[in-house]
Every structure is written in structure tokens, then in C-alpha cells.
Amino acid sequence: MGHLIMKDISFSYLNGFSLRQVSLMVEEGEMVALLGPNGSGKTTLIKLAAGVLNPERGEVLLGEARLRKLSRKEIARRVAVVPQSFNIPFAFTVAEVVMLGRTPFINTLSGEGERDRSIARRAMELTGIEQFSKRTFNELSGGERQKSILAMALAQEPKLILLDEPTAHLDINHQVEILELVKGLNREQGVTVLGAMHDLNLAALYFDRLVLLKEGAIFAQGPPAAVLTEKTIYDVFGATVHIQQHPSAEVPHIVILPKENNPR
């Protein structure tokens, strides 16, 4: 029994895009990345795993629990989502934003307690943002905001974290910082991670298993070296690349070739 199980999932939008009988199992403690071109279904799978969308056919399970049978509060106590961006229309401090992660556990009458505050402080310590706790969230840099969102997710004490392209719009240094944080949480805290990723090289470097999507279906999945080949990348993305060994890790590193070098 996996931690997250998606069994024969089908889902369609009015614009014609559809997921077709997608089955995916994420084991407890795994780090799995969803890859594919824009519009291939990565974000849709994340939303289905979070219970934001319900499948037309098939079933999503969290352990043995059917996701559609759980309340929003019950899901939020098990699953946290880190989106590409998070907008706060008010001048909330970082500490207040992180405390939002405790919402599923806070009694509306009695309010937050010392345990909630302790968990929020620990989340800020783990993500290295405690020095920003009194600053206004909207005044932070993109990387600092993303760390704060990750801290908010950790304050939920989730068993599963869903990442929806968490490094989008960040510079290289902050991309690495965010993924190092996530990998550290996975290794040290045992948090299961499923992430939609755009950068193939970062996915290969930080995720144990890759799931490559094409037109709403799984095209390939497995360890980075098995999934990221010159042929699969051409077949899915239409791009000609050269695969070489990463200089410091036993994973493939993709070199993009100009169109004029395309021999096909």
C-alpha cells in the first residue's frame, strides 16, 4: 500500500485537455517529480492529489483513505501544497503567514495555542527564515517568500508535500536553496514529496523517481537515468539534446542543442 495512490485517474477540462487512465503510486518517504511539456497534466495531477479537483473516473487514496471521502480539514492535516506563488492582499508578517499552516488544527473559539506557536517557530527554523518573522511577507524577495510558503506548509505537519513548480520565477541560487531544503526535509523528517517540475536537470539532481507525462498520459517513469534519455526527451518535448554524466552526481545532465544541430 503506497502513501499516495492514483488509480486509473481520468479528468478533462472544457478546453478539450484530458488525463487518460493515469495510475501512479508514491511510496512513503519517496521524492517523485512530474515532468512534461506545458499542458501535459502536471499541475492537474497535483490538484487531484490535493483534492482540489475530483477525478471523473478512478480513485485517489491517501494510504487506505479515499480522498473524496475526507473533509477539507482532514486533507489539510495530511497534505500541504507549495504553489508557484502565493499572494497575500494584506500586510501579514512572515510569522502570521506561517501560522496559517496551523489553521486545520486551531479551534476557532480558543485560537492558537503554545503548541501551534512552537510548531510554527520550528518550521521557520527548519527553512532558515526565523530572522524574517516580523517582516511583511509581500516585501520579501521571491526566494524568501518561497521559503516562507514552504515553512507554512511544514507548519501543517503534513505527511505529504505537493510542489507545483516551486522554483518557477526564482534565480539559480534560490532554486537550489529551495530544493536543498525540500530534500533535507525528505531525508531528515521523512516527508513524502510529489512535485511538478519544469527544469529537467534540477529534477534529475534532486528527485529519486521521475514521471514523464505527454498529452495527459504517463510516457515513462523510473530513476533519472532511465527516464531522461535523448530519445525520450525528443519524443516528448521535440527537443534535440545531448546527455552526459553530471560532474558531481550519478545522474544524467542534459545539454540543449541548437535547432540547426537537429539531425532528425
Length of the chain: 264
Residue 216 pLDDT: 93
In whole angstroms, how large is the CA radius of gyration of the chain?
A: 19
Given its phi and psi angles, is residue 43 left (phi above 0), alpha (psi -120 to 50 degrees) or beta?
Answer: alpha
Residue 86 pLDDT: 81
Q: What residues have CB less than 8 Å from 14, skipping those under 6 apart?
A: none
| Cβ 62 vs Cβ 77: under 8 Å | no
DSSP SS3 for 218? strand
Residue 261 pLDDT: 60
| Cβ 62 vs Cβ 1: under 8 Å | no
d(CA 197, CA 211): 10
Looking at residue 102, the DSSP 8-state letter turns out to be G
Q: What is the pLDDT of residues 248-259, one digit of tens each?
A: 999 999 999 987
CA distances to 30, 71, 113 from 67, rounded to whole Å, are 19, 8, 29
pLDDT averaged over every residue in the chain: 92
Top pLDDT among 223 and 111 is at 223
Q: What is the pLDDT of residues 55-103, one digit of tens each?
A: 999 999 998 899 999 999 999 999 999 987 788 878 899 999 999 999 9
pTM over 0.85: yes
